[in-house]
Amino acid sequence: MEQPIQSPSHKPIKIRADGFAAALNQMLQGRTARREGWENQEIFLAIKDDFLVIYDPQDKEWHPLIVSVGDIVADDWEFSLPATD
């Protein structure tokens, strides 16, 4: 059973993946994920309440994510340590 992420804390550890499927697998293991190429380093993804969500640092809220083709084919994903409450 997944642990809900209460406060955002993405500490990248620079694990590279073979695309979005690997990123999803890491998030299912309780990690947060982000693309290295994203300009804003404070934006990241997680699985929360059984949905893929994105954290917006401007409003400090989680939002449902609509995945782009660019994200699906990207290979610059990095992951955090497992999320904690």
- What confidence tens digit (pLDDT) does each residue in 18-48 have? 788 888 998 998 888 999 888 888 899 999 9
Please state the rounded mean pLDDT for residues 61-66: 95
What is the domain range of residue 41? 20-72
Asked, for residue 36, whether it belongs to a domain, the answer is yes
State how many domains the chain has.
1
| pTM exceeds 0.85 | no
**8 A C-beta contact, residue 85 and residue 9:** no
| In-domain check, residue 9 | no
Closest by alpha carbon to 84, among 15, 34, 30, 29? 30
Structure tokens at 81: 């340590």
Q: Is 6 inside a domain boundary? A: no
Per-chain mean pLDDT for the chain: 80
Question: Is residue 38, in this structure, part of any structural domain at all?
Answer: yes
Residue 30 belongs to some domain of the structure: yes
Residue 35 CA to residue 44 CA, distance in Å, equals 8
Those residues whose C-beta lies under 8 Å from the C-beta of residue 84, and which sit 6 or more positions away, are 3, 9
Residue 10 falls within a domain, yes or no?
A: no
Q: Does the residue 78 lie in any domain? A: no
